[in-house]
Amino acid sequence: MPSFADRLAEVVRTKGPLCVGLDPRWEALPQALRPPRGSPLDLAAVAAVYRNFCQKVLELVQPWAGVVKPQAAFFEHCGPPGMAALADILRTARDMGFITILDAKRGDIASTATAYAEAALGGWTMDGQTFPVWNADALTINPYLGRDAVEPFLTAAQKAQRGVFVLVRTSNPGAGLFQDLLCDGQPLYRHVAAEVVKWNAPTVGCYGLGDVGAVVGATHPRELAELRAVMPAVWLLVPGYGAQGGTARDVQAAYRSDGLGAIVNSSRGVTFPFHPDDPEWETKIITAAQRAHAELKP
């Protein structure tokens, strides 16, 4: 199997840089997919609707996006049946040819980090049996715990030809509280970026890009351009486009001159461009995906 970075480059060459975020929220889901109002509900029923909605989204956006990013939090919100739905959606997406990024922002140390990494990325083997668990192509991770919190994820990713995206400069309004602190003359996020460059270097593949990516928000266009410049071989995962306020013009700074190097996430903008009662919700998803696809062309 080619490396994660090479597979991502091929998908982006074919389908463009749009990554569709799967963030199912009950109150936003089409009424048409929910059980009739007043029916008794349990977590399994909620999870079943999440599964159906996400699988529908995968079908609708397939012509316009090559990457999908389920958000673990919304599936955890539904407990064990939600996690089973997450596993099903990841499996379906992979079978349909999508590159899958599990957005879980995990971070822990030593064997604990290895447990998260194996579950998310390559699975694990016991007594000759393999358990793929979530089996995503890539995982988002949090760097705060330091070197030995990142290395087990890198090791598991490399072993299974998968990738990670390290949080560097996040898209939220309060991100700067720690990320912008000046440390030895440079903001903290630049220190994290410098480590990502080092971790990524040994993994650079055929397209001059490696398997250790960085999360950099579209809501900070200046920092996006700055980080593109200092991380030339690093894939950027760019949240914050669309509903969070980043424009298609803002994200142009994330692409390299060859048009590769960034994938741009849209969750609500593509998956919820409708009122829950709207019978045309499927058409609206297609139109939103098509527009994002066109607008995001490098």
Among 15, 56, 105, 198, the one annotated catalytic: 105
List Cα–Cα distances, 256 to 3, 59, 68, 134, 164, in angstroms: 19, 29, 21, 31, 19
- Contact pattern from residue 212 through residue 251 relative to a second copy, giving x for each residue in contact according to CB under 8 A and a dash for the rest: ----------------------------------------
| Residue 143 Cβ vs a second copy, minimum distance, rounded to whole Å | 6
| Residue 262 Cβ vs a second copy, minimum distance, rounded to whole Å | 20
Of residues 138 and 175, the one with the C-beta less far from a second copy: 175
Of residues 11 and 85, the one with the C-beta less far from a second copy: 85
Tell me which of 96, 97, 144, 245 binds a second copy, using CB under 8 A.
144
Q: Does 161 bind a second copy (CB under 8 A)?
A: no
Question: Checking phi first, is residue 105 left (phi over 0); if not, alpha (psi -120 to 50) or beta?
Answer: left
Tell me which of 32, 63, 131, 279 binds a second copy, using CB under 8 A.
131
Applying CB under 8 A, the span of 6-14, 141-149, 224-232, 245-253 interacting with a second copy comes to 141-149
Count of CB atoms situated within 10 Å of the CB of 44 = 14
Catalytic-residue membership of 105? yes
213-235: buried (b, 16+ CB within 10 Å) or exposed (e) per residue? bbbbbbbbbebbebbbeebebbb
| Residue 216 Cβ vs a second copy, minimum distance, rounded to whole Å | 13
Applying CB under 8 A, the span of 78-86, 201-209, 219-227, 246-254 interacting with a second copy comes to 78-86
| Residue 129 Cβ vs a second copy, minimum distance, rounded to whole Å | 6
List Cα–Cα distances, 68 to 1, 179, 262, 271, in angstroms: 20, 26, 14, 11
Judged by the rule CB under 8 A, the positions of this chain that interact with a second copy are 23, 25-26, 37-38, 40-43, 46, 71, 73-74, 76-81, 83-84, 87, 105-113, 115-116, 118-119, 124, 126-127, 129, 131, 133-134, 142-149, 151, 167, 170-179, 181-184, 188, 191-192, 195
Point out the residues that are catalytic. 105
